[in-house]
Amino acid sequence: DAGVIQSPRHEVTEMGQEVTLRCKPISGHNSLFWYRQTMMRGLELLIYFNNNVPIDDSGMPEDRFSAKMPNASFSTLKIQPSEPRDSAVYFCASSRQRDRIQFFGPGTRLTVL
């Protein structure tokens, strides 16, 4: 299996622009997680899905952030409008519900100028 796939790997954008991050979980995994990592705050859970349904989005910072999972093999995290404080590495991870070990994607490094 190719593992969790994220795109793009790097994104540089200007403040106010819309940013869309993409994730393809490992086939057969039914839980998907979006995390953000910064130097100041470390790793933080933004939202997670079970069977394509959002279960806990309490980590989503504000209304500018939204996440969708239209099917079992694809999820997006959208930031609109982006701000410089959104600059971070965004990780997607997936797991099988029964064993809960999470497999992480390589991350998307986002820079908002």
Partner 1 sequence: KNEVEQSPQNLTAQEGEFITINCSYSVGISALHWLQQHPGGGIVSLFMLSSGKKKHGRLIATINIQEKHSSLHITASHPRDSAVYICAAMNSGGSNYKLTFGKGTLLTVNP
x/- binding map, residues 2-31, to partner 1, per CB under 8 A? -----------------------------x
Applying CB under 8 A, does 90 fall inside the site for partner 1? no
- Single out the segment in contact with partner 1 by CB under 8 A; choices: 12-20, 64-72, 73-81, 95-103: 95-103
Q: Cα 45 from chain centroid?
A: 9
3-state DSSP assignment of residue 66: strand
Applying CB under 8 A, does 104 fall inside the site for partner 1? yes
Whole-number Å distance between alpha carbons of 19 and 97: 29
Whole-number Å distance between alpha carbons of 113 and 95: 33
Give the pairing type, strands 19-24 and 74-79: antiparallel
Binding site for partner 1 (CB under 8 A): 31, 33, 42-45, 48, 50, 55-56, 89, 91, 93, 95, 99-104, 106-107, 109
